[in-house]
Structure 1
Amino acid sequence: MSIIVQKFGGTSVASDESRERVLDKIIKEKDAGNKVVITVSAMGRKGSPYATDTLISLGTDLKPREMDLLMSCGELISASVVVNGLMRRGYNACVLTGAQAGILTNETYNDANILRVNPQRIVNALSDDIIPVIAGFQGMSEFGNITTLGRGGSDTTAAILAEAISADETHIYTDVDGIMTADPRVCREATVIDAISYSEVFQMADSGAKVIHPRAVEVARRSGIPLYIKNTFSNAEGTAIIHCPKPGSIVLEGNECKLITSIAHLNDRVQFIIEEGPSDDAFIFPLLADKGVSIDIINIFPSRKVFTVDKKQVWIVSEVLEQNKITYETIEDCSKVTIIGERMTGVPGVMARIITSLQKEKIPLLQTADSLTTIACLIHSKDLERAVSVLHRTFDLA
């Protein structure tokens, strides 16, 4: 017997038909003799009556505390409807809010951090053969206020509850067959990845791939509990997120281990170029940090500084530079393409293959940055699809 945490996203609970599939997935695990703990997102996406973005539009003038109360309603509705479906099919189930499930957070409304979890009510429900269905995305502060965990918070709920009850597996259900080698909307050759490491998924999410919230991956890596990304609407095996797959595992192709696991991208990047500034103008970066500006890629040379930021923060950067009489240029409409792979650490020639591939396609390379497991390239957004596709072929990801 295993304890399995199942999380179902907004599209999975959006309609009567999809919710029946959710019930099928839950009951399949339950009938196999496993104990199941369920967490759910709000129904559908913006425009659906109970979706989080729809609820937000109803309270545009609310303070953060009251907004969290409003936003927490969507998951409660989903949980109640799922419990109703389970009861209708003859299974005993109960609804728990995030607070009732024991999730205690700080009081940072709209983006709270979880401080600790007391899962006793979940444990009691499992002991009584009751399926607990928990409203994701929410918790309660030490002062008794309802808080929400930020975008993707239901993923975090699932991972943190799995850790708290020492679950054997966490299954994240969505509307795709698993994590893919690239965004299929950008690269038609993208395929589902069978297995991937926690670190690689964290890098994918941090580099723009909308697979699973980075905070959830960090919790799963800490606990060592395998995460599976699965499709509510198919019986595909999905993607296993585990510790780094070893040579001889399913990530091998022939006798050679693939260096690169996936390619992610971020749009709406803007590059700032400061030419021949004074050597002491590095003070500008602490000023930008104080203004909440997150710098994406940065390269500093004796007479030149180049960095990129999100398009939404361009006006802040421009204001700070102009106030300090620093001359600059910008290149707008950029995208960052990041190749990710734990096995490329220490392997020579990876950057050379990237540069050669892009040059053959006449795609200008504006800026680069690298770490042990990633290489990021800044390009013009108009070249994004070609760049991702050629890199996907170069590293044989299909």
Structure 2
Amino acid sequence: MNIIIQKFGGTSVATEELRERVAKKVICSKEEGKAPVVVVSAIGRSGDPYATDTLIGLANRAFKEQSSRELDMIMACGEVISAVIMANTIKALGYEAVALSGLQAGIITDKYHGDAEVVQVDCEPILNLIKEGKIPVVTGFQGATMTGDITTLGRGGSDTTAAILGEALKADIVEIYTDVDGVMTADPRLVPEAKVIDNICYDEIYQMAEDGAKVVHPRAVEIARRGSLTLKIKNTFSDAPGTIINGNMGFKGSSYRNANEDNLLTAIAHKNGITQFTVSFNEDSVEESEKFMNELTNKHISIDLINFFTDRKVFTVDEKNAEKLELLLKSLGYKFKVTAGCSKITAIGHKIRGVPGVMARIVKALASQDVKILQSSDSHTTISCLVKQSDMEKAVNALHQEFNLSR
């Protein structure tokens, strides 16, 4: 059926002029013989009347305590409004379009309100509309339980909706429209020389998304990888070709043996709002470590950049969990040190696997800008460094320049 999923974020549908631009892109796909399925986010961003954060604020002002079920109901309203308006915009240009909620689109989830998982998709409602020559416009970010309760899929959930529908409908491609020309080698607001990446593999884009790049949600990448879906990141505001995301990088082990080779890295990502904890231990035992980790799990505290030693454990948490962790550590009687106001800088590239000297170049580049590395960790495709947030911009630019990513 040549199905194409086209997802548009809140900024892409924020004004009447932009919605007409989006409608024309959808119609262009239709006229090319494709069967477009549109996924939309709520209109605008926080402060705009129908944005998700605005609706949450409305609910919180009205009631200090509310159930997650009712909160999901009000959060889902933003996408419903967006889908109806977008469908009417397409109809005004002469093409039949039908707005669908997550439930009407056949998206069934578990019962975890606020961060639900999709358990099945009934494709029949959307396929029937396509067969009738109509364009389905689906609310992103939401679904419903088997009993009909509205659920939401977590922040960034419209990307998840697009990927889930792409997998279920066996779409040729999933296009995710944003306000940049594609996936870039670094945040262009920090690095003016950042360039668009033409092709990138699932592992690399997943790491970028996990480590701060906001161009696509990590869960959408996981779904795409599972279903061998091709994603394309495109700009709503231009006709730039965008970035293709798939597993076809032709990589079967590193052919690089010299860290000074060009093209070792794909991108530099960064994440702010990180707090480092150093927790002292009087005894190093399996039981004590297990007890400590169980306490973190019970309090739903996720840790990162983990370095465990015989006398201490060093790790980071998101700053939103820092106060909760401090209270926990005090209640358990641990001695600890807190370093707030940090950033995680991550160098990403599948070609660095097994190549000696990459870390040496990172240390040299950061030292040249007087940036102190507070902690580091690595994997097959990444090297991450913790730095003070005040040094973040210098660090990102230094690494981008050191590895010639603007070429």
Offset at 1:324? 2.2
State the partner residue of 1:9.
9
Q: Deviations over 1:25-65 (max 9, x none)?
A: 00111111111111111100011111111111111123211
Aligned partner letter, 2:88: N
The Cα shift of 1:276 comes to 5.5
Structure 1 Cα separation of the partners of residues 129 and 372 of structure 2:
58
Q: Which runs of 5+ in 2 are unaligned?
A: 252-260
The verdict on how the C-alpha distance between 1:244 and 1:372 changes in structure 2, with shifts beyond 3 A counting, is farther
Within the alignment, does 1:370 sit opposite 2:374 as a pair?
no
Determine the C-alpha separation between the residues in 2 that align with 1:234 and 1:277: 59
Q: Offset of 1:277 from its aligned partner?
A: 3.0
Check conservation: 1:260, 1:343, Cα contact below 8 A.
yes
Match of 1:240 among 239, 244, 247: 244
User: Which of 178, 188, 209 matches 2:182?
Assistant: 178
Shift of 1:257: 6.6
What displacement does 1:191 show?
1.4
Q: 2:198 aligns with which of 194, 201, 211?
A: 194
- Measure how far apart 1:144 and its partner are: 1.3
Please give the residue correspondences for 1:1-398 in structure 2 after superposition, counting only pairs within 5 Å.
2-60=2-60, 61=63, 62-246=66-250, 258-275=263-280, 277-280=282-285, 281-282=288-289, 283-398=291-406
How far apart are residue 143 of structure 1 and its match? 1.8
Kept after mapping to 2: 8 A contact 1:197/1:242: yes
Paired AA for residue 45 in structure 1: R
The answer to whether the 8 Å contact 1:105/1:147 transfers is yes
2 CA distance for matches of 1:69 and 1:315?
30
Q: Which amino acid aligns with 1:2?
A: N
Q: Do 2:262 and 2:404's aligned partners in 1 also have CA atoms closer than 8 Å?
A: no
CA contact (8 A) 1:363 1:387 kept: yes
Per the TM alignment, residue 303 of structure 1 is displaced from its structure 2 partner at its CA by: 2.2
Q: How many residues align?
A: 390
Q: How many Å separate the matches in 1 of 2:174 and 2:262?
A: 27
Tell me the residue number matched to 1:252. Answer: none
Unaligned stretches of 5+ in structure 1?
Answer: 248-255
User: C-alpha separation between the residues in 2 aligned to 1:163 and 1:325?
Assistant: 49
Are the aligned partners of 2:281 and 2:334 in contact in 1 as well (CA < 8 Å)?
no
Structure 2 equivalent of residue 251 of structure 1: none
Cα separation, 2, equivalents of 1:206 and 1:13: 26
Q: Is the partner of 2:95 in helix, strand or coil?
A: coil
Give the TM-score normalised by the residue count of structure 1: 0.95
- Alpha-carbon distance in 1 for matches of 2:55, 2:326: 34
Secondary structure at the residue paired with 1:29?
A: helix
Q: Tell me the equivalent position of 2:257.
A: none
Give per-residue Cα distances to partners, 1:104-129, cap 9 Å, x unaligned: 00111111110011110111111111
Q: Is the 8 A contact 2:233 2:243 kept in 1?
A: yes
Aligned residue in 1 for 2:255: none
Q: Normalised by the size of structure 2, how large is the TM-score?
A: 0.93
